[in-house]
Every structure is written in structure tokens, then in C-alpha cells.
């Protein structure tokens, strides 16, 4: 592991700047969504939209960090830089194991990254290629860039190619072709392109909202596509999954993330009918620009997602940094209900257990009744909290975190209507943006044995709340006072049987 630069270890001021403990954020300045997520040998690479010179969106480069466990991150030099009037916008990475691009050698095939070039002089976007022949350590821009010009995009884009971006590229085995999925800013469509050499691309199809049965009409302005195959649990089948960040229509406002299933023949994606109730991967305000790690070995087999937590632009009250990676989560698919419809499940990656130090509170098989307050002697700002309980028909169980006399973020389960919620109205500083407070809800039913499960990751300036087996998630940023570190577990309107409650303190120093 590389030694961290001294500046990262020293100033206490950084720790006081809402800096998360076990989530990635830039050492300094701005980040937005992750880019080019790829595992190479035992190293998880994280690239991300980064302004290294100011704490605002602009001057975008691919920042870079590496990890052996998705929890401890080492900051690395910029990977794909802005320069010559061209900024490096979002894109993805893939292993060119056959040296199809000719940019490596047969003995040392290259890793490729496709990104959007943003030409500042005329605000045009085109698609570009970079490659690495040292396992992702350094990246060289392809001399023939752009590989898709704005002029080539123009017939397929309402803005004449000005706003075509976010290339997701993968190799499609059955057709033997490379496939690119592009977003078109402000438009409700994606385009699909194919290539034999990773460098010359041909448009092959559009995917528009009217081709997705049941898609609510408000789900608009699609960005940041990701696409991959995922096994269906309990079967030998797989299905294609297409993930999109629409800028409009999400349950909590701001950008959100939808996940579609469907089939793909190498040129056209055919979407399964959409169930609006299970369409969104997250019901909170702060989960978007989601991508998944590629090149994860089959022996691991996980599809792991991460996005950006920050839907308020430059407004959050952090001074040295802006924008945080959501905690990496696995994505799986199960069949459910009479129609065997598919449902996504998400869970924090198991690597979190490696830093879940002391068990600071535990409760087993204890009934909680109105008037009781449990967990009040526990405290912390970096926690993994797991609850399993059964609850009376009209009762409401509330877990307050980051609690002080006049501050708290309340995670609640309302049994009367099967609703999981996160209430940020008294969470701390919500004045910086009209969307920073409020209550976010998601439907959640007890499991077949009547047990409700909730897992809450708390980290300095965020809560990520997973319901059930991960069929719903609510992710939100919060900005409480540093001293608001209490917990409280209460019930009203009836009682609850706490099967198991565990509160783990997260500690990176082990």
C-alpha cells in the first residue's frame, strides 16, 4: 500500500469539514460521478469526475484512487487530464484482452477508457479513447481522438451532437463486437453504437422512452448509462440490465437512478415492462451517476455499484471538498410474486465487516413498548446498524441517529402502511439548498416470517438505509453538528419485538 501524502494525515481542519470516515471523497476540491470503474488484479480502481483546482464543477479530469477492499482508498495522480482546450468528462473502462485496439501487445493487452471530450471553446462534446499498458496506473490519450466526432453524432442527437456523452463500452461476446451506449443531454433516449476495433464506431439503434413499456412519463433527461448481464438468483438464467440516471422524475427529486431489465442482441435493447414501484434503485436524494465495476473475476462474481452522493451542486457546507462516493453495494436480482417478476436487491459490500470494529450496543429478543428509549448510551458518527424486528399492526418504530438535544436524523418504519422513511427535517444544516431537508419514503413489507430488517450505514455526513433484503434503499446526505452523535430507539402506537439489534462502530485503523 502506498504511503499517504502528509497533507492527508495532518490537518484536523479536514476532519472537522464533515469529511467521511469510510466513504471516498476527494482529498481536495470537487468530484461528481464515478468513471471507468474497473478491477485489475487485486486492485479496485476508482476514477471520478474531478476538478483538481477548485471546489466547484468545471475543469474536469478523471481523478483516480485505488483500493484493495473498497473501503480504504489511496489517492493517485490524475488519470485522464483536461488539456488543450478539452476536458475529460464521464466514461467507462474495459479490458481489451485480445489487444483488438492494437494499443497494447498480445503479451500485455491494454485497458481502455472511453470518455467524453468537452471542447470548452465551442461547448461541443465528442467521444474519446485513452489506454493503459501498466494495469491502470497511467493513461495515454489515443492519438486519433476524437473517435466519434460531434458531426458523426449529430444525426442521432437533438442538439446536433453538442450534448452526446457518457460512453458505456463493453465487449459483446455473441456478436464479437464492441458496444457503446451513449446518453444525449436533456433527451429521453440512449443510442447504441458498435465497433470491431474499439476506435471506429457505427450507430446501430436508439432506445427511447416509448420503447419502455410502463415507464412513467416524468422520467426524463437520461444520463450516465451502465449496462451488463446479471444472473437471476435461484435460476441458471441471466438477464441484461440497463442503468440510467434521469435528471427528472425521481422519488426524492434531483437526479435518480433507474434499473431496467431486458434482452440485448448486440444492436438493440428490448426492455421488459417496467413496474414503477420497483423502478428506482434508491428513494433518497443523494444517489446518482451510478456505475458498476467491470473485470471483477468470475470467482468473485459480484456486480458492485457506486454513485455520487451530492445532488446540490456547490451548495453543501463543506469547504475543502465537495461530493462523496456512495458506499459500494452489490446488485442482485430475484424473482418475486405470482408473475415471477424480477426485483433488484442491494446490500453494502461485505468488505465493510472488515472495518466494523467494536459492537457498541446489542439487543436480542426484547420487547420495546411506548415510553421506552433504547440505545441511548451508544454513540458514534461512523456506524453500521442492523435491526430485525416484528411490530404491531399500527406501531411505528423510530431509530434516531446523529442525535443531540435539537438535532436528529430519524429512520422510521411505519407498520400501518409498510413505509420505511428517513426524516432529515431536524438533521442539522439544511439551509444550503431547498432539497436538503424533508422526509424520503419507500414501501417495505415484513418478510414471510413477519420480520422487518433495516440496515443503516451512518458516516459523518450521510445515511444509507437498506430495507428488507435490500429491495429498497434510501440514501441521504446530512450535515449535523460534530457533537450530535447520540442514538435512540423508540416505538409508538404499539410495541415491537426486537429480534436482534447490533450497532457496530466503524474504525479504519482496525
Q: Supply the residues annotated as catalytic.
A: 33
124 or 462: whose CB is closer to ligand NAG? 124
132 touches ligand NAG by CB under 6 A? no
Q: Could you give the CA distance from residue 242 to residue 239 in angstroms, rounded to a whole number?
A: 10
Residue holding cell 420480520? Answer: 451
58 or 85: whose CB is closer to ligand NAG? 85
Binding segment for ligand NAG (CB under 6 A), chosen from 20-28, 117-125, 191-199, 400-408, is 117-125
173 touches ligand NAG by CB under 6 A? yes
Give the 3-state secondary structure of residue 352: helix
161 or 307: whose CB is closer to ligand NAG? 161
Binding segment for ligand NAG (CB under 6 A), chosen from 43-51, 104-112, 182-190, 352-360, is 104-112
Binding segment for ligand NAG (CB under 6 A), chosen from 101-109, 211-219, 284-292, 340-348, is 101-109
- Ranges assigned E (strand) in 337-381: 341-348, 356-368
> Closest separation between CB of residue 337 and ligand NAG, Å?
20
> Closest separation between CB of residue 184 and ligand NAG, Å?
15
102 touches ligand NAG by CB under 6 A? yes
Q: Which of 67, 124, 326, 379 binds ligand NAG (CB under 6 A)?
A: 124
290 or 496: whose CB is closer to ligand NAG? 496
| Cβ atoms 316, 477 nearer than 8 A | yes
> Closest separation between CB of residue 4 and ligand NAG, Å?
35
Q: From the DSSP assignment, how many helices (H) and strands (E) are in the chain?
A: 3, 33
66 or 441: whose CB is closer to ligand NAG? 441
| Cβ atoms 32, 307 nearer than 8 A | no
Of 180-219, binders to ligand NAG (CB under 6 A) are: none
Element housing 453 (H / E): strand 452-459
209 or 419: whose CB is closer to ligand NAG? 419
Element housing 113 (H / E): strand 111-119
155 or 339: whose CB is closer to ligand NAG? 155
229 or 364: whose CB is closer to ligand NAG? 364
| Cβ atoms 70, 44 nearer than 8 A | yes
Of 61-100, binders to ligand NAG (CB under 6 A) are: 97-100
> Closest separation between CB of residue 248 and ligand NAG, Å?
21
* Number of residues counted as binding ligand NAG (CB under 6 A): 22
30 strand-pairing partners? 51, 322
Which DSSP category does 230 fall into? E
Angle at 38 between CA 177 and CA 330, to 5 degrees: 105
> Closest separation between CB of residue 252 and ligand NAG, Å?
13
Q: Could you give the CA distance from residue 204 to residue 152 in angstroms, rounded to a whole number?
A: 13
Q: Which of 18, 142, 171, 293 binds ligand NAG (CB under 6 A)?
A: 171
Q: Could you give the CA distance from residue 242 to residue 266 in angstroms, rounded to a whole number?
A: 14
Of 361-390, binders to ligand NAG (CB under 6 A) are: 364-365
121 touches ligand NAG by CB under 6 A? yes
From residue 36, how far is each of 10, 56, 150, 160, 371 by CA, in Å?
30, 21, 22, 26, 50
> Closest separation between CB of residue 367 and ligand NAG, Å?
12
Of 133-162, binders to ligand NAG (CB under 6 A) are: 150
225 Cα distance to chain centroid: 12
> Closest separation between CB of residue 285 and ligand NAG, Å?
16
Query: Pattern of binders to ligand NAG over 400-439, x per CB under 6 A?
Result: --------------x-xx-x--------------------
Give the 3-state secondary structure of residue 354: helix
| Cβ atoms 258, 276 nearer than 8 A | no
**Does a cis peptide bond (omega within 30 degrees of 0) precede residue 146?**
yes
> Closest separation between CB of residue 443 and ligand NAG, Å?
7
Angle at 101 between CA 178 and CA 135, to 5 degrees: 100
Q: Could you give the CA distance from residue 53 to residue 7 in angstroms, rounded to a whole number?
A: 16
404 strand-pairing partners? 407
The end-to-end CA distance of the chain, in Å, is: 16
496 or 506: whose CB is closer to ligand NAG? 496
C-alpha cell at 279: 423502478
Of 272-291, binders to ligand NAG (CB under 6 A) are: none
From residue 389, how far is each of 178, 364, 383, 421 by CA, in Å?
48, 10, 19, 16
Tell me which residues touch ligand NAG (CB under 6 A).
97-100, 102, 104-106, 119, 121-122, 124, 150, 171, 173, 364-365, 414, 416-417, 419, 441
Amino acid at each position: 500500500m502506498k504511503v499517504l501524502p502528509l497533507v492527508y494525515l495532518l490537518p484536523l481542519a479536514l476532519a472537522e469539514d464533515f469529511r467521511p470516515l469510510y466513504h471516498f471523497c476527494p482529498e481536495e476540491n470537487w468530484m461528481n460521478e464515478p468513471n471507468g470503474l474497473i478491477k485489475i488484479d487485486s486492485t479496485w480502481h476508482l476514477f471520478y469526475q474531478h476538478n483538481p483546482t477548485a471546489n466547484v464543477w468545471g475543469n474536469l479530469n478523471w481523478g483516480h484512487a485505488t483500493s484493495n477492499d473498497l473501503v480504504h482508498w489511496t489517492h493517485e495522480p490524475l488519470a485522464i487530464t483536461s488539456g488543450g482546450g478539452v476536458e475529460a468528462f464521464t466514461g467507462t473502462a474495459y479490458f481489451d484482452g485480445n489487444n483488438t485496439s492494437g494499443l497494447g501487445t498480445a503479451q500485455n493487452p491494454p485497458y481502455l477508457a472511453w470518455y467524453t471530450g468537452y471542447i470548452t471553446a465551442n461547448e461541443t462534446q465528442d467521444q474519446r479513447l485513452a489506454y493503459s499498458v501498466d494495469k491502470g496506473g497511467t493513461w495515454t490519450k489515443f492519438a486519433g481522438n476524437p473517435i466519434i466526432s460531434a458531426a458523426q453524432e449529430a444525426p442521432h442527437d437533438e442538439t446536433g451532437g453538442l450534448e452526446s456523452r457518457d460512453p458505456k463500452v463493453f465487449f459483446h461476446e455473441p456478436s464479437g463486437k464492441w458496444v457503446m451506449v451513449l446518453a444525449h443531454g436533456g433527451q429521453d433516449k440512449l443510442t447504441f453504437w458498435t465497433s470491431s476495433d474499439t476506435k471506429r464506431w457505427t450507430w446501430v439503434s436508439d432506445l427511447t422512452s416509448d420503447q419502455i413499456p410502463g415507464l412513467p412519463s416524468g422520467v426524463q433527461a437520461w444520463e450516465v448509462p451502465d449496462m451488463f448481464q446479471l444472473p437471476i438468483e435461484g435460476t441458471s438464467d441471466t438477464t441484461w440490465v440497463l442503468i440510467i440516471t434521469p435528471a427528472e422524475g425521481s422519488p426524492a427529486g434531483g437526479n435518480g437512478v433507474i434499473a431496467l431489465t431486458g434482452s440485448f442482441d448486440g444492436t438493440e435493447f428490448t426492455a421488459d415492462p417496467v413496474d414503477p414501484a420497483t423502478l428506482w434503485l434508491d428513494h433518497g436524494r443523494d444517489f446518482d451517476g451510478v456505475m458498476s465495476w467491470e473485470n471483477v473475476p468470475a470467482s468473485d462474481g459480484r456486480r458492485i455499484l457506486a454513485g455520487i452522493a451530492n445532488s446540490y451542486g456547490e451548495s453543501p457546507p463543506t469547504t475543502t471538498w465537495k461530493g462523496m462516493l456512495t458506499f459500494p453495494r452489490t446488485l442482485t436480482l430475484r424473482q418475486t410474486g405470482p408473475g415471477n417478476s424480477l426485483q433488484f436487491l442491494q446490500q453494502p459490500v461485505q468488505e465493510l465487516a472488515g472495518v466494523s470494529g467494536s459492537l457498541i450496543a446489542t439487543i436480542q429478543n426484547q420487547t420495546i413498548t411506548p415510553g421506552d428509549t433504547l440505545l441511548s448510551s451508544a454513540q458514534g458518527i461512523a456506524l453500521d446498524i442492523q435491526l430485525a424486528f416484528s411490530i404491531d399492526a399500527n406501531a411505528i418504530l423510530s431509530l434516531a441517529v446523529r442525535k443531540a438535544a435539537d438535532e436528529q436524523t430519524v429512520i422510521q418504519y411505519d407498520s400501518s402502511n409498510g413505509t420505511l422513511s428517513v426524516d432529515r427535517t431536524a438533521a442539522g444544516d439544511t439551509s444550503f439548498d431547498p432539497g436538503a431537508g424533508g422526509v424520503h419514503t419507500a414501501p417495505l413489507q415484513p418478510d414471510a416470517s413477519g420480520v422487518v430488517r433495516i440496515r443503516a450505514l451512518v458516516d459523518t455526513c450521510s445515511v444509507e438505509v437498506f430495507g428488507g433484503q435490500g429491495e429498497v434503499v434510501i440514501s441521504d446526505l446530512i450535515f449535523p453538528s460534530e457533537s450530535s452523535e447520540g442514538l435512540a430507539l423508540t416505538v409508538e402506537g404499539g410495541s415491537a419485538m426486537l429480534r436482534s439489534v447490533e450497532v457496530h462502530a466503524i474504525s479504519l485503523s482496525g
